Structure 1
Amino acid sequence: MSRSDPLIDAFLDDLWSTKGLSDNTLSAYRSDLCHFEHYLRQQGLTLLAVSQTEVRGYLAFRLEQDFARSSSARLMSSLRRFYAYLLHKQQIATDPMALIESPQLSRQLPDSLSESQVSRLLAEPDVDDPLERRDKAMLELLYATGLRVSELVGLTMEQLSLRQGLVRIVGKGGKERLVPLGELAVAEVEAYLTEARQILLGYKQSDVLFPSRRGQMMTRQTFWHRIKRYALRAGIETELSPHTLRHAFATHLLNHGADLRVVQLLLGHSDLSTTQIYTHVARARLQALHEQYHPRA
């Protein structure tokens, strides 16, 4: 599976040019389709010689191999888009995915942090250290805006307007959105720009807003590991993910009365149903508070 089938390459090129999908999303599609192509090859078949029977056989094979239901759901999405593309290009006569249903997924509540935990996390970086001053600004900005970590580390100077208190984000599918920063985030980013950024850059010119120790754009994995280190120092035992502060941002907004559609716009969700899972989070927190404090709960 070291080389992709030309059909897969053509499909991914089409997605990249027409949908503007991220490298991570395209990589996930490639992985799903290459594994499926490898399975077909072992059956003496090709991607163009597939019926519902082969697709169902592959799903049964994955079930036997104990693949997660969520990964099978993603696979189904990959196969649906791929075979819709082939049908549109008239490379197949019928769509083998037409009558196949995706596995039902339980709605899992995203991991989040309480407001006190967020406060402890944000207070942890040592602002006298240039790297930690940078991290402090990044954490404040992340919690203030609900950005994806990939959006945060990819920020450039031209996307930021401290005077207006806004950051311009190009999210999934190339969609732009303007997100307000808030006074605390603006103050922390200003302090970082004044005290630390040029030190990290070695006083060289760069458009990267939050450069690494080497003066280059940081990877999201690096920043995630730094978040976990601050959480450990702050005594936070909650399991963290790269999106933990994004989830906290949405949950805390809803807990304080924000409109769901406003949260949808701020998060950059194209579909309101994606945002609605946070109403379950907020409702669960409110129910827990009621049970804890109401005398007749």
Structure 2
Amino acid sequence: MTRSSTDALRAALPAALSDAVAGYRRYLTAERNLSPATVAAYLGDVVSLLDHLQRLRGGAAATTVGDLGLADLRSWLARRRSTGAARSSMARQVSSARSFTGWALSIGLIDTDPAGRLVAPRAERRLPAVLDVGQATEMLDGPATGGPSTTPEQAAGDEPEPAALRDRAILELLYASALRVSELVGLDVEDLDRHRRVARVTGKGNKERTVPYGAPADAAVGRWLELGRDRMTGPRSGRALFLGARGGRMDQRAVRDLVHRATRAVPGAPELAPHGLRHSAATHLLDGGADLRTVQELLGHASLATTQLYTHVSAEKLRAVYTQAHPRA
């Protein structure tokens, strides 16, 4: 659900339901400290649920959260399913409903939690597309990064464009540290300890972690800071590590466009978003011998179960090693 459609539905809710949405938003933001994107997703689900509740009650202006029952929740989910919602979306919507009714119970808007017996469908866990090591190397050395595939003028020593230096540093750092795109664009210059080659990252739930990165990424970041950043600085730059064309902090959409272009330029490689580089980095770490717990810490996953997805991505390598090593393979 888009923000505009959420706002339109919320505006049509009775005062009691609209007030509940406002209170829930404050709870998600101030107490749970969730990201704006997560808050928007939860609110979209809750507004959809409350709109459905009011419709079931014939549009009565006196409808309150206390009217919500298990049958209403099941009816709402059935309607969402009938409109083609994916299993993953359905699972998130159940989570949203449980969070909302749990909050409503805690502040006395309802007497019992109707979502306590709500069963979520098992989300389909699709294996993410990833680059192999050769494709990752080719991407980082390709034209989109100002790497070896440059123009004769660049090879002759012309000063590189600051945007090219920035883009190379972004791709190197994304792949080297397996950052989320939101974490990357949120970095300030002081968040990098270049002596130790680590970055201080603020992840989901405003949790900080320290992430290492390698020498190639450090070299690319160093060139951006020394030769590019000052040439793109403007009044809105602040201490942001990566800057956009207008001098402000780099936008997530611009990073996504960059990653799409860079991976699309590699023959045979899947076209990826920034999260695909994160998947690729995690897979290559596991293939290289890193243990699952270390990769969990690097990625900032709250649950080891989330990180275990990458063990399935590496199953092809396991099969290859087995075939080569086992006498009865």
Q: Is the 8 A contact 2:91 2:121 kept in 1?
A: yes
Question: What secondary structure does 1:178 align onto?
Answer: strand
Which residue of structure 2 aligns with residue 13 of structure 1?
Answer: 26
How far has the Cα of 1:126 moved from its partner? 1.8
Q: RMSD between aligned alpha carbons? A: 2.0
2:42 is the counterpart of 1:37? no
TM-score of the two chains, using structure 1 as the length reference = 0.94
How far has the Cα of 1:42 moved from its partner? 1.5
Q: Structure 1 residues 138 and 293, CA, compared in 2 at 3 Å: closer, same or farther?
A: farther
User: Within 5 Å, which residues of 2 pair with 1:85-234?
Assistant: 85-124=103-142, 125-126=145-146, 128-201=160-233, 206-234=238-266
Q: Structure 1 residues 204 and 7, CA, compared in 2 at 3 Å: closer, same or farther?
A: closer
Q: Which runs of 5+ in 2 are unaligned?
A: 1-5, 11-17, 58-62, 148-159
* Matched residues, number: 297
Q: Structure 1 residues 175 and 202, CA, compared in 2 at 3 Å: closer, same or farther?
A: closer
Paired letter, 2:190: E
How far has the Cα of 1:205 moved from its partner? 6.1
How far has the Cα of 1:93 moved from its partner? 0.5
Which residue of structure 2 aligns with residue 82 of structure 1?
Answer: 100
Q: Structure 1 residues 78 and 205, CA, compared in 2 at 3 Å: closer, same or farther?
A: closer
Please identify, of 24-33 and 4-13, the stretch whose mean Cα deviation from structure 2 is larger. Answer: 4-13
Distance 2:268 2:32 in 1: 39
Distance 2:270 2:128 in 1: 12
Distance 1:159 1:102 in 2: 39
Paired letter, 1:126: G
How far has the Cα of 1:77 moved from its partner? 0.7
How far has the Cα of 1:130 moved from its partner? 1.4
Distance 2:187 2:245 in 1: 16
> Larger relative contact order (C-alpha < 8 A, sep ≥ 6)?
1
Structure 1 vs Structure 2: percent identity of aligned residues?
39
Question: What secondary structure does 1:102 align onto?
Answer: coil
Distance 2:70 2:268 in 1: 48
Paired letter, 1:111: A
Distance 2:318 2:187 in 1: 35
Q: Which has the larger radius of gyration?
A: 2
Q: Which runs of 5+ in 1 are unaligned?
A: none
Distance 1:35 1:204 in 2: 37
Distance 2:128 2:141 in 1: 23
Q: Structure 1 residues 212 and 293, CA, compared in 2 at 3 Å: closer, same or farther?
A: farther
Question: What secondary structure does 1:243 align onto?
Answer: helix
Q: Is the 8 A contact 1:167 1:179 kept in 2?
A: yes
Paired letter, 2:303: D
Q: Is the 8 A contact 1:79 1:97 kept in 2?
A: yes
How far has the Cα of 1:261 moved from its partner? 0.5
Partner deviation per Cα, 1:259-292 (whole Å, 9 max, x = no partner): 1100000100111111111111112333256559
Which residue of structure 2 aligns with residue 69 of structure 1?
Answer: 87
Partner deviation per Cα, 1:205-244 (whole Å, 9 max, x = no partner): 6201000011111221211111111222233541423301
Q: Is the 8 A contact 1:198 1:204 kept in 2?
A: no
Distance 2:99 2:316 in 1: 35
Q: Structure 1 residues 205 and 41, CA, compared in 2 at 3 Å: closer, same or farther?
A: closer
Question: What secondary structure does 1:206 align onto?
Answer: coil
TM-score of the two chains, using structure 2 as the length reference = 0.85
Partner deviation per Cα, 1:177-211 (whole Å, 9 max, x = no partner): 01111111111111111111111115986201000
Paired letter, 1:257: G
